[in-house]
Amino acid sequence: MKILHLPPRPCFVLFCSFLFFCILNFDSLYGQPTAVFRVHFEKDQNTIPATAHRHIVAQTNHIGAPEKYRVQLIGHADQTGSMSYNQKLSEQRAESVAEVLIDLGFQAAQMNREGLSFLKPLERAVTEDALARNRRVDVIIELAEGNVSSDYFIIPSQEATELTYERSGTKLHIPAHAFVNADGEAVNGAVILQYREFRDAADFIVSKLPMQLDYQGKSGYFNSSGMLEVKAYDPNGQKLFLKTGKEVGMEFVQTEVQQRTQLWRFDEATGQWFNEDEQTNFANDSIASLPVDTTWRRLGSLALQWPETNRHWDYAPIDTFKQLQAAYDLLPEILNNLDTSKLQYIAQLDFQEFGKRYNNGFSGNNYAGPHYIGRIPFRKAYRDKKYYNIKLRSRWSKRGSAYYQIEDLSGENIELKAFEGLYWKVRPRHLRKFRQQVRASKFSDIRVHRKPNSQRYFVLELKYKSRLLEIPAQLYHKKEGLIDYSLAHKKFRQYQRALKKRRQAFNRTQKEKAKAAEFLWPAIQLLLPKNLEEVDLSKVKAISEAVLGQDSIHHNWPTETLQKWYWTYAPDLPGYNFICLHGHRFKEIFIGRDQPNWQALLKNYQPDFYGTQTHYEEFQKAFRRKVVKMSLKQLSVFNLDVLKRFEEKEKILASFQNEKGKNVNFNNIQVVNHDLNGLLNFNKKSIYLDRAARNTILVYDKDGNIYYLPANGIKDLPLRGKASYTFQMKLLDQKLKGPDDFRKFLKESASG
């Protein structure tokens, strides 16, 4: 189970089922998550208040056998204090909740604890009530035994959000204002989206996902190319629904590409499957997606997302080799200008967009206008008109009111030309209040807002250090007095258009920078020398640090992290410290090639040199995988599938004996066809078997034992022409709990 907090770590679960089996297993299929709640803390405290302790008990007292559940704990702090202080505090808060849950019977090994400092606030305001709501631990509990792990995305319901499911690369496009509760009321605030995918027979077995159905009067079974389920909850765990007219867009990475693939939706109310072909749009043949299968490909111990993190709905082919070359072309600029004595900032890797640089939140503290000043002493920055370039110059006063002009000392604030030749009238009480906050005359940025329901009353919002200070003001003409409503509106619209144009141009440049740098670290790791002919201890140490230092990093590098976090300086980015500390030692290796042979570098990559993970063993094959575009109108269970009929298999009346020759009194039979991606369930003696394929048979008796017959034990049986047969089964002497256990077992069975 993973939880991902996105200002930008639904839940879609793949599913197939025949009605009888679905009804038998309804609770185990749809009981996700078991509990969702929050625990709040006092300021600067990590001890559990008495009321919070009672809240934890109340939220978990319905859970029997807590040792069978996994728990995700995400600690948070408010926006006061340093990053490092709040990081430690958020981790301590998560640990405090863990201790209470352990006392209640939950297993420490089944808990994932992490802290996010103040990076994911529920509210941006700095009122005491808002800060108190941010001091919390998010708790999600789901069944661990007999269950496929889910990912949970905490997203703002009022904003459109684009998500990537890390295990496969599937992308989800969630529209703004998309959710309603059971009463049909619109949902505002945070929404928890749960998503998981079922990729093979092991997933189907563990989650009790049958692959059979009755369709158009005939019995059939599924050969899945991908199954998914999406669900949404409010922070209290109440189920949410899609608002009428809203749709969830998906770019789904298929398990395998099959002809005549169909989309099926499972209706929970009726227990029936419905064909949803009209909502399926297969990607063009030229479009491929490299993040396939159930795990990310890895370069050594560094997780990568391939081939792109492009979030546009108009999915376009991405040339991975061109991206590697674009990143490689950045290296000379970075290494030639890198000041290793000041490692906290690399300009080429700063992708903060226009609005984030202005905000008085986390990243905004480090910027004066669009310029990074995090390392510059304030006095020096204040004297430099490049940074503190907005001057509020007093022209005269009359009857206590002050009349100001805004001067742009740098000339980069082109939107201010809209107010050229005009003055800002500030009333005495507003001026006094402003001067109580700051005595400065220069500021690092400015925004002009119109007061609500007013055409000519404005608010000047000025940035000084990390503070945003407001002055109510009116537009004034020296000769004609206060300007009229129409002129004020015209000037303000002119200002807005110019500001929007500047913002768009700046953000466009940032996105281009981020895209060029996206494969920088993979390119570096591919270029690192595999063998050091001369003993250069500094290089040996550098490579060791480059490898071992990435084990705990789970973020994409760099775009995903820098664009979605609220801060700029991220010293634990994969590859960041390596570039700073050791890049100059490898300068002759990283710089000087016109174009490295990326395909050869990938093909000849030696994973054992950097880590234990195999790398790109299906590299070329993966480029041929297809992405399916879908538009889902409901939060439900979906299956991308090729429907097959039972007539294609031979029907056999089966009985089973154990190794001692005694009959097995069974209540369920499962047949896994290793040449297809599915699972057949039977609760009667009549089973269907494809004799030409590799099959594993699993039989469950009434005492909970599992008997099996591996694929190599079936292929030589004299089944041809027989209507019935008694199978000699082996008792499985190990307990298979999770999908990994079954996956290993089925792999051994298929290979013999």
Helices (H) and strands (E) in the chain, counts: 21, 39
Q: Which fold has domain 649-751?
A: Immunoglobulin-like (2.60.40)
Q: What one-character-per-residue DSSP string does 85-146 give?
A: HHHHHHHHHHHHHHHHHHHTT--GGGEEEEE-TTSS-S----SHHHHHHHSEEEEEEEE-TT
Task: Give the rounded distance of the alpha carbon of 279 from its chain centre.
Answer: 24
E strands present in 120-247: 136-143, 151-156, 161-164, 171-174, 179-180, 190-198, 212-215, 218-233, 239-242
Structure tokens at 585: 């030692």
Q: Of the candidates 363, 265, 351, 315, which has an alpha carbon nearest to the alpha carbon of residue 640?
A: 265
- List all residues 6 or more positions away from 161 whose beta carbon is below 8 Å from its beta carbon: 6, 8, 153, 155, 173, 174
Q: What is the pLDDT of residue 27?
A: 37
Q: What pTM, to 2 d.p., does this model score?
A: 0.53
Structure token pair of residue 425? 């009238």
CA distance 277 to 125: 46
| Sign of the alpha-carbon torsion through 615, 618, 624, 626 | negative
Beta-carbon contacts of 549 under 8 Å, excluding residues fewer than 6 positions away, are: 577, 578
Segments in the chain below pLDDT 70 = 1-32, 210, 257-260, 277-320, 340-344, 360-363, 455, 531-535, 545-574, 593, 599, 603-626, 752
Taking the C-alpha atoms of residue 354 and residue 612, their distance in angstroms, rounded to an integer, is 41
Q: What is the DSSP secondary-structure string of 353-402?
A: -HHHHHSSSTGGGGEETTEE-TTS-HHHHHH-TTTS-EEEEEEEEETTEE
Q: What is the dihedral of CA 464, 466, 471, 476, to 10 degrees?
A: 50
Crossing angle (nearest 10°) for helices 83-103 and 50-60: 50
Check if the beta carbon of residue 663 is closer than 8 Å to that of residue 40.
no
Collapsing DSSP to helix, strand or coil, 258 comes out as coil
Alpha-carbon radius of gyration of the chain: 31
388-438 pLDDT tens trace: 999 999 888 888 889 999 999 999 999 999 999 999 999 999 999 999 999
Please give the pLDDT value at position 445: 95
Q: Are 338 and 346 in contact (CB under 8 A)?
A: yes
Looking up tokens 């079936």 gives 714
- H helices of 166-241, in order, are 201-206
Angle between helical axes of 320-337 and 485-517 (0-180°, round to 10): 100
Q: With H, G, I as helix, E, B as strand and everything else as coil, classify residue 209.
A: coil
Q: Quick one: pLDDT at residue 306? A: 36
Dihedrals phi, psi of 576, to nearest 5 degrees: -65, -55
Task: Count Cβ atoms below 10 Å from residue 212 Cβ, excluding itself.
Answer: 23
Q: Rounded to an integer, what distance in angstroms lies between the CA atom of residue 464 and that of residue 469?
A: 7
**How many other β-carbons are positioned within 10 Å of the β-carbon of residue 516?**
17
Other C-beta atoms closer than 10 Å to the C-beta of 238 total 12
Bridge-based pairing of strands 69-75 and 111-115 is parallel
Please report, for residues 323, 363, 559, 563, the alpha-carbon distance to residue 353 in angstroms, rounded to integers and kept in the order given.
Answer: 21, 10, 12, 8
76 vs 88, 130, 131, CA distance in Å?
Answer: 10, 13, 11
Which residues are bridge partners to 701 per DSSP?
666
Domain ranges of the chain: 1-32+148-283+626-643, 33-146, 310-349+519-622, 390-505, 649-751
Q: How buried is 262 (Cβ within 10 angstroms: 0-12 exposed, 13-18 middle, 19+ buried)?
A: middle
pLDDT digits (tens, 9 = 90+) for 4-51: 544 433 332 222 333 223 323 333 444 468 888 999 999 999 999 999
Q: Which two tokens stand for residue 188?
A: 């505002």
∠ CA 691-692-697, rounded to 5°: 45
- Tokens of residue 532, six digits: 């050091």
Distance CA 174, CA 214 (A): 32
Residues in Cβ contact with 73 at an 8 Å cutoff, skipping those fewer than 6 apart: 94, 97, 98, 111, 112, 113, 114, 137, 138, 139
Q: Mind listing the pLDDT tens digit for each residue in 570-602?
A: 445 567 777 877 888 888 888 876 778 876 777
pLDDT of the residue at 661: 92
The CB density around residue 61, as the number of other CB atoms within 10 Å, is 9
For residues 373, 377, 382, 387, the Cα torsion angle rounded to the nearest 10 degrees is -20
CATH number, span 33-146: 3.30.1330.60
CA separation for the pair 297, 168 (Å, rounded): 10
d(CA 444, CA 467): 10
Distance, CA of 557 to CA of 258 (rounded, Å):
33
Burial 281-307 (b: 16+ CB within 10 A, else e): eebeeebbbbbbbbebbbbbbbbbbbb
Q: Which residues contact 668 (CB under 8 A, 6 or more apart)?
A: 681, 682, 683, 699, 700
Q: What is the pLDDT of residue 4?
A: 54
Q: Could you name the CATH architecture of 1-32+148-283+626-643?
A: Sandwich (2.60)
* Cβ-contact 325, 585 below 8 angstroms: no
Quote the CA–CA distance of 691 and 79 in Å, as a whole number: 64
Beta-ladder partners of 637: 266
| Residues 6 or more apart whose Cβ sits within 8 Å of residue 488 | 455, 456, 458, 475
